[in-house]
Amino acid sequence: MLLKNKKITGNISLHGDKSIAHRAIIIASHFPGIHIIKNFPQNNDLIATLTIFKQYGLKYKISKNNIKIDSREISLIKQKINCNESGTTARLITGYLSGANIETMITGKKSLLKRPMGRIISPLDTFGVNIKGFNEKLPIQILPSKKIDNCNYIVDIPSAQIKASLILYSLHIKGKNLIKGKIETRDHLEILLKDLGYPIQYDQKKIIIDGKGNINKNIDITLPGDISNASFIIAAAILIKDSNITIKNMCINSYRMGFISAIKKMGANIELMNRKIINGEKIADINIKYSDHLIGIKIHEKDVPSLIDEIPILSIIANYASGETLIEGIGELKVKESNRIEAIIQNINRMGGNTSCNNNVLKIEPKKLYSTTINSYGDHRVYMTFYIVNMVIDGEDKYNSKDNIYEKSFPNFLNIMEKVFI
């Protein structure tokens, strides 16, 4: 597909937010009933979560973009489960099954076995869970304990996955469970539980979960569009002349807006319209226009958790700004599906750029880039980032046709790209 002299335009909608979908599947599995999740994204990570609960008796049917879940016959018994390549699945399910206190072996594909799990294992161990990891990585073994305690933990890593894992653990543990510390991260699980009537209280300082509680209704929710997936379309629209596109019904959760805030500071022509709240989540349409007066900015470490997944594509936008961009506190990027710091630097510099990292500060100095064949490093966000930059450079989508790693999170990525160019 040659895209030269074309622009991004129109009105589109995207499949639902992956982070919310993971959490909705687990909650739908925990509370027996027949549940509906609309605008469900059928990507590899979510299929991994569904497949695990299917082993415990979950029944589900996907029709078009909706999924119907029947969890009335679930029985949490001894199992060996495979999280495939999904780190979110592994961390959330470890917390959930630890609270269930059943014998479990948790493993995954080779790429997942390299990712850190000590941050989940450590708090669970303090509660009395009989849990062991292999050098603080998968595989993880959980054995039944005579007694496990209520969650009372101060989170020292700002991670939504750690926080969600501890909340899911707490669902099984009768009485008050308390989480404090660095909890100002995406709060989709808290929002979902509260919307369903579960006894949970939370603010920026603490979360209190009443274990063994119930919800007052079956799940029937519509997932908003995934802002992490939208970021690639947004970047292309900002950087390709005469572009003007609206992405409808997007999640604008306060802890997911770091990318939008950053590019607005850079001078991106972007507007949020038709704001509303659906199932407790903030939703809006996002309009993006070509922006030709971008400036470099400094992003502080405290702001990184709200844009951690978007740093690769943000680094490309920064390359087209006037002046350098600095992004502090990016160490977490080393332990994603790839070492994303190295992937960003090596790919940009191979294209003629000047990007470096010292003391966990990424520095992007704008320089003319030249297109090259994509090296995804086995990472879906790296693939999509450098697919976009090739299109921006010369309108040609250079990629390895055998590399389909983008299907991990955005299976219809290429179809969407073809749709929005005219």
Answer whether 155's CB lies under 8 Å from 180's CB: yes
Q: How far apart are CA 404 and CA 87, in angstroms?
A: 18
379: helix, strand or coil:
coil
Helices (H) and strands (E) in the chain, counts: 12, 20
Going by C-alpha positions, the residue among 287, 284, 332 that lies closest to residue 312 is 332
Phi, psi of 334 (to 5 degrees): -70, -20
Going by C-alpha positions, the residue among 286, 220, 260, 264 that lies closest to residue 35 is 220
Instruction: Please report the pLDDT score of residue 280 as a whole number.
Output: 97
Instruction: Please report the pLDDT score of residue 6 as a whole number.
Output: 80
CATH superfamily of the domain spanning 9-15+225-420:
Enolpyruvate transferase domain (3.65.10.10)
Answer whether 51's CB lies under 8 Å from 25's CB: no
Instruction: Please report the pLDDT score of residue 398 as a whole number.
Output: 66
Q: How many CA atoms lie within 13 A of 129 on its CB side?
A: 32
Judge whether 9-15+225-420 and 18-211 match in fold.
yes
Q: How far apart are CA 281 and CA 251, in angstroms?
A: 7
CA quadruple 43, 123, 310, 408: dihedral, nearest 10 = -20
Distances (CA, A) of 240 to 113, 227, 325, 388: 39, 20, 20, 10
Question: Amino acid letter at 407?
Answer: E
Answer whether 386's CB lies under 8 Å from 374's CB: yes
User: What are the average pLDDT values for consecutive 10-residue runs of the chain, which has 422 residues?
Assistant: 69 97 98 98 96 98 96 97 96 98 97 93 97 95 97 96 98 98 96 98 97 96 97 97 97 97 98 98 98 97 93 97 97 88 95 96 96 88 94 76 87 91 80
Phi, psi of 128 (to 5 degrees): 95, 5
Instruction: Please report the pLDDT score of residue 3 as a whole number.
Output: 46
Tokens of 292: 């030709």
Going by C-alpha positions, the residue among 70, 53, 71 that lies closest to residue 61 is 70
Q: How far apart are CA 239 and CA 263, in angstroms?
A: 12
What ranges in 141-187 are assigned the alpha helix state H? Answer: 160-170
Instruction: Please report the pLDDT score of residue 70 as a whole number.
Output: 98
Tokens of 241: 């002349």
Q: Tokens 């790429």 sit at which residue?
A: 111
Answer whether 236's CB lies under 8 Å from 8's CB: yes
Instruction: Please report the pLDDT score of residue 336 as a whole number.
Output: 84
Q: How far apart are CA 153 and CA 333, in angstroms?
A: 25
Q: Which helix (H) or strand (E) holds 348?
A: helix 340-350
How do the domains of the chain map onto residue ranges? 9-15+225-420, 18-211
Catalytic residue ranges: 309
What residues contact residue 203 under an 8 Å CB cut-off, 6+ apart?
A: none
pTM over 0.85? The answer is: yes
CATH superfamily of the domain spanning 18-211:
Enolpyruvate transferase domain (3.65.10.10)
Answer whether 240's CB lies under 8 Å from 290's CB: yes
Q: How far apart are CA 164 and CA 93, in angstroms?
A: 10
Q: How far apart are CA 374 and CA 385, in angstroms?
A: 9
